[in-house]
Each structure stands twice: as structure tokens, then as C-alpha cells.
């Protein structure tokens, strides 16, 4: 990995061992102003200091982000399809690397849609982008996305396939979903490339979110890149503090819950 990539990775993965609490708020590009991200500026101002990194699109970064935020910036540069359109998985690259670097991004993120009619286009885009990212020294996060077929997110064989594809194509970090059985195999399939997990739809209770993070970290995951389970929580700051305790201090889910929800 080049020196430039290493510096940028260190702004995302922090501490020892290097892990990340990444806040995902890129959802609006496809799903609109969901509950919890109606006012991104206020959200970023209130939770910004409790995250290591943020994952978002350029418009929200430049209009709602404070340049002194201090969090690593993972700029999503794929999208261009919405929930109202014919196919959420038909993404395109939406921002050039030149723009991403000018905007101060520490990494860029694109989705791949393994197992859909768009797998070919999305994997090819990832692979070609990986070459460009090497040229510019900017890390690339591959998001192994599900589209509308959420069931695949529980299948370790599917997740391991998608993660390995991302690793083979040159991703520097990979985002996947946690599965109860066989998650170690999913991590192993990344061949040493750092893996973070999405949270998925809001869970019914806080302890489930924290247990997911704890089990994922225990399996070798390098952090979370969660959205809805943070900003749809009644207390996003408590959730972030609890996630930090698990990810950076190896706290148990139960202890983190007891500490931050009084
Ligand atoms: C979807 C994404 C989202 O950022 C990701 O799903 C994380 O958010 P959540 O924790 O709400 O699932 O990249 O492709």
C-alpha cells in the first residue's frame, strides 16, 4: 500500500488495534430524507465528535459538513438510481477521483451488487476504479450491497463470495453485513483486507445492535459503518459512545449498554 493510502487509512482506522466507528449517512441519494437524516447538518454537528469517520455523498459533505469536523471522510462516488426507479442496483460512478480529492476525501466508496443483473457492471467499475485509486493514493471502500434482496444478507456463503470478489478486484476496505453463523469465514474471505459491517434496518432494541458489533469485532471485523441504527436511535450519541466502547475498548455489549443508557 502506498504512503498516501496509509496516511488516509489512518484517518479512518484509529487506535490500537486500528478500528473505525464510521457513520453512514449516504442513504438519501437513493432513499430520500429518511427519518433521522432529515437535517444532516444538525446531525453531523451533534454526533461528529463521536465518530472516527463519516461516509456520505458530496452534496451533503460540502453543504452540511464542517471542515473542522476531524472525522475521516469516506466519499460515496457511486449511485444515480433511486427507490422510485426501476432498479436500485443499476448504479453508475457519480463523482471523479479528482473531485473527491479536491473535496478532501480520505477514501472513496462504491457499491457492488453480486448476484444481480448488474454485478458485471458494478464489479468492473470497482476494479477499474481500484487502479485509479492506486494512481492517486486514495483508499477504496467496496460496499457489498444487497439491493432489495435482504435475505442474501443472512447467508454467509453469499457474503463471503461478495467480500472475496471485492478483495480480488483491489478494494482497500470492504463493507458487508454481519451474519450470526459463519461470520469468521466472511472475514477470512477478505484475505486480510479490513472489513466493516453495515447495521441494516433499525433493530428492535439497543442491545441487539451492540451485540452485533461485539460479535463482529470478535470475529475479526475492523469496525462498523452503521447508519439507521445510529441516527434512528432515540439517543444517537449514546449509541455511538457505546459502539466506541465495544470497538475501541473491547467492552461487552452489556457493559456498554449499562454505561451509556442510565
Ligand atoms: C448502502 C450503504 C449504507 O451506507 C449502509 O447500508 C449502512 O447503513 P445502514 O447501517 O443503515 O445499513 O452503503 O449501500
205-228 per-position pLDDT tens digit = 999 999 999 999 999 999 999 999
Q: Which long-range contacts (CB under 8 A, 24 or more apart) does 82-89 make?
A: 82/29, 82/30, 82/31, 82/32, 83/30, 83/31, 83/32, 87/117, 87/118, 87/147, 88/30, 88/147, 88/148, 89/113, 89/116, 89/117, 89/118, 89/122, 89/145, 89/147
Q: pTM of whole model > 0.95?
A: yes
| Residues pairing with 141 in the sheet | 109, 173
How far, in Å, is the centroid of ligand 1 from the Cα of 30? 11
Active site residues: 175
How sure is the predictor about 152, in pLDDT bands with cuts at 50, 70 and 90?
confident
**Residue 71: pLDDT over 90:** yes
- pLDDT tens, position by position, 230-239: 999 999 999 9
Is the CB of 111 inside a 6 Å radius of any atom of ligand 1? yes
Could you say which of 3.30.70.20, 3.90.226.10, 3.20.20.70, 3.40.190.10 is the CATH number of the domain covering 3-260?
Answer: 3.20.20.70
How far, in Å, is the centroid of ligand 1 from the Cα of 259? 26
- pLDDT tens, position by position, 245-254: 999 999 999 9
The alpha carbon of 243 is separated from its chain's Cα centroid by a whole number of angstroms, namely 14
Amino acid at each position: 500500500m502506498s504512503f498516501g493510502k496509509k496516511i488516509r487509512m489512518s484517518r479512518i482506522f484509529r487506535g490500537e488495534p486500528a478500528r473505525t466507528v464510521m457513520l453512514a449517512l449516504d442513504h438519501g441519494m437513493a432513499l430520500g430524507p429518511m427519518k433521522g437524516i432529515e437535517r444532516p447538518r444538525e446531525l453531523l454537528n451533534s454526533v461528529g465528535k463521536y465518530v472516527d469517520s463519516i461516509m456520505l455523498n458530496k452534496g451533503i459533505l460540502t453543504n452540511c459538513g464542517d471542515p473542522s469536523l476531524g472525522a475521516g471522510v469516506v466519499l460515496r462516488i457511486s449511485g444515480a438510481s433511486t427507490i422510485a426507479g426501476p432498479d436500485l442496483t443499476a448504479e453508475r460512478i457519480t463523482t471523479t477521483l479528482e473531485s473527491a480529492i479536491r473535496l478532501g476525501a480520505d477514501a472513496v466508496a462504491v457499491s457492488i451488487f453480486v448476484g444481480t443483473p448488474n454485478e458485471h457492471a458494478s464489479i468492473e467499475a470497482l476494479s477499474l476504479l481500484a487502479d485509479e485509486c492506486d494512481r492517486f493514493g486514495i483508499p477504496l471502500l467496496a460496499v457489498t450491497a444487497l439491493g432489495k434482496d435482504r435475505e442474501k444478507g443472512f447467508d454467509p456463503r453469499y457474503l463471503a463470495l461478495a467480500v472475496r470478489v471485492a478483495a480480488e478486484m483491489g478494494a482497500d476496505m470492504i463493507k458487508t453485513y454481519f451474519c450470526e453463523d459463519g461470520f469468521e469465514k466472511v472475514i477470512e474471505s477478505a484475505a486480510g483486507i479490513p472489513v466493516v459491517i453495515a447495521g441494516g434496518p433499525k433493530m428492535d432494541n439497543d442491545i441487539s445492535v451492540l451485540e452485533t458489533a461485539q460479535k463482529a469485532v470478535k470475529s475479526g471485523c475492523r469496525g462498523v459503518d452503521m447508519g439507521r441504527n445510529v441516527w434512528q436511535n432515540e439517543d444517537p450519541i449514546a449509541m455511538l459512545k457505546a459502539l466506541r466502547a465495544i470497538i475501541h475498548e473491547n467492552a461487552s455489549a452489556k457493559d456498554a449498554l449499562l454505561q451509556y443508557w442510565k
